[in-house]
Amino acid sequence: MPGRPFLQIPGPTNTPLRVLAAIAQPTIDHRGPTFQKLARSVLERIRGVFGTTQPVIIYPASGTGAWEAALVNTLSPGDRILMAETGHFATLWSRMARRLGLDVDLLPGDWRSGVDAARIEAQLRADGERRIRAVAVVHNETSTGVTSDIAAVRRAIDRAGHPALLLVDTISSLGSIDYRHDEWGVDVTVGGSQKGLMLPPGLSFNAVSPTARAASATAGMPRAFWDWEEMLASNDKGFFPYTPSTNLLQGLAVALDMLEEEGMDAVFRRHLRAADAVRRCVRHWGFDIQAADLREASAALTAVRLPAGYSADALRATILDQSSVSLGNGLGQLTDRVFRIGHLGDFNDPTLLGILAAIEMGLGACGIPHRSGGVESALAALLGADTPTAAAAE
């Protein structure tokens, strides 16, 4: 197929060529001085992306691994953990917790809303014996395009006067949506390389608060690969306790350069502005988005609900075939009912508008009723948009 492919799933995202070029430089000795300098730099600079001055652990493993790491470093078998079913990924994380032998209390959800902080607070207040050891929520639910108010969850925990740790998955928001590990009092933040960090998959992260680290001292879950302490001890010297993903770290250094050059605030604004344009386009077409409340709609992706009777998967296949644009599929209960547009990572206006145009062409080709002109409406939004009308996330 001629032309450049557009990877517009909500991650992995399009890796900038500068980053790919850095990854393709030769592998270096992970015990040598050049690596040490690289490691020290990325370990220090990655903190800024998480909004923390505390250590961030970098695993040579994809994001699901960092979910596991957050659990096994802080909890003991049988510990109770409070989770919120915001969508497919929150559900998968809760299933993982169960498989690891935790006692999961999963607050049911409609997959269209963020975490209900009031229910978290109620649940914690009801936990007189303080059996709940952690609250684990997803900041940006990649399956639905709904973000949750993490600061509100922290306030809920504090109001309940509950000692539970706060674990947050930011895999698809990190580096795209404003996030503040320290300010929001998060204990473990889970991140991945292949979304806002603009890298291929293969690195994942745990930002760790002092409270979380203290909890790990007594956490009884068996662990080795994911263990924080060995990692932190090695990291202090600029090394890793086992072979790190050297080439991806070479890429991470360049990705951090790019984020720093643009400035994190500008990065967040760029995502908000794009999200607003996408949603105007979707509404113009006449479709609903999965987020029930626009104030919770994600700045990083938009899940679009097709009218009943139309196959989102058939639409995606048509668009991929016609236009080399990859869109995200509906997951779990949303299979074939929604498609997801990733607007995160490295993109600009013509990329965004080109994708929307490809979707509009696909709607036409599939005979899905819609009002044409969506692209123009996105274009108008981008052109006018100093202040997006629909604020995403916080």
Does residue 267 touch its own copies according to CB under 8 A? yes
Instruction: Report the amino acid identity of residue 210.
Output: P
Give the interface segment with its own copies, choosing from 129-137, 178-186, 303-311, 358-366 (CB under 8 A). Answer: 358-366
Interior CA angle at 119 toward 115 and 122, to 5°? 150
Q: Which phi and psi angles does 96 have, rounded to 5°?
A: -60, -45
Q: How far is the CB of 394 from its own copies (least distance, A)?
A: 21
When binding is defined by CB under 8 A, the residue of 253, 264, 365, 391 that contacts its own copies is: 365
Residue placing its CB nearer to its own copies in the complex, 124 or 312? 312
| Run of H or E including 120 | helix 117-126
Candidate segments 42-50, 79-87, 242-250, 289-297, binder of its own copies by CB under 8 A: 242-250
Q: Half-sphere exposure of residue 295, counting CA atoms within 13 Å on the CB side?
A: 3
Residues 195-234, mask of contacts with its own copies (x by CB under 8 A) = -----xxx------------------xxxxx-x-------
Query: Can you read off the two tokens belonging to residue 49?
Result: 């992306």
Q: Is residue 376 a contact point for its own copies (CB under 8 A)?
A: yes
Q: How far apart are the first and last CA of the chain?
A: 40
Which one of residues 182, 247, 305, 311 is an interface residue with its own copies (CB under 8 A)? 247
CA distance linking residue 59 with residue 154, whole number of Å: 26
Residue 329 has a CB neighbour count (10 Å cut-off) of: 18
- The residue from 283, 326, 336, 391 that contacts its own copies (CB under 8 A) is 326
**Burial of 62 per CB tally in 10 Å (0-12, 13-18, 19+):** middle
- The residue behind tokens 């869109």 is 327
Please give the residues from 12 up to 31 whose contact with its own copies meets the rule CB under 8 A: 12-18, 20-21, 23-31
Nearest residue (CB) to its own copies, 127 versus 346: 346
Q: How far is CA 161 from CA 22, 53, 91, 288, in A?
A: 47, 25, 26, 39
Nearer to its own copies among residue 63 and residue 87 (C-beta): 63
Given candidates 45, 48, 76, 96, which one binds its own copies under the rule CB under 8 A?
Answer: 96
Closer by beta carbon to its own copies, 4 or else 125: 4
Q: How far is the CB of 116 from its own copies (least distance, A)?
A: 26
Q: Are 381 and 285 in contact (CB under 8 A)?
A: no
Task: Report the nearest approach of its own copies to the CB of residue 295 (Å).
Answer: 25
The site for its own copies, by CB under 8 A, has a size of 97
Closer to its own copies by Cβ: residue 50 or 93: 93
> Which 3 state secondary structure label does DSSP give 158?
helix
Please select the residue that binds its own copies; options are 100, 117, 168, 390, rule is CB under 8 A. Answer: 100
- Pairing relation of β-strands 103-107 and 146-147? unpaired
Query: Which residues from 335-354 bind its own copies, rule CB under 8 A?
Result: 346-354
**Residue numbers 132-171 binding its own copies by CB under 8 A:** none
